[in-house]
Structure 1
């Protein structure tokens, strides 16, 4: 396997067999990061029905949580928020969630403005409305 595997003790546990990140040269590639909290099945801003389906959610709470999880992985790997160079964002409801997400994104990325791609997907592996895939530099 190419590159150093990085697993965070602070970010939520991966939901499959993959690392939080992998370092290759001076680049850090993060796996998809969602808003869950480590050691818990609870998802900030999400209410589930008795069948485990999303009954209601707060995209702002999920955005803040996913940004925090990305920060945790970056810092534990030896990088930093300001070293992000590319961000791919997956939203499950572009029409409903993009305005709030875009406003919060501008707040969090005020000084560092990495390349960004935002796409709508029909669903994500867990009952979440947002996931980020990131690339950062690392020294």
Structure 2
């Protein structure tokens, strides 16, 4: 089973999402999703998440809290949360088409406009479910 770690990063009541590249053959092309990625051999989910955030947006997060695990027949997702302590302008998007702070209303609607794409793009179904669960828990 594929092991991945995902980050719920929040700031000012909004949540950081990545608009995935719209390239055929990748998982969830052209949809909004959470930042994160696959575990390397011998890597813990927490270390994976910290590495992926540095690689994908140049963000160093010191402390993350485990929110939940989401498993299906193909993927086991470890989901962590932490505040986003820098402005969006201080992040460098190294992977993906766009990034943005999505509102709870965007997440409930399942879509959000992307300036770079010039159109409304869907939120990936597993990522929307994770965020709806997270918002229902009122942890922040």
TM-score, normalised by the number of residues in structure 1:
0.31
In terms of Rg, which structure is larger? 1
More strand by share: 2
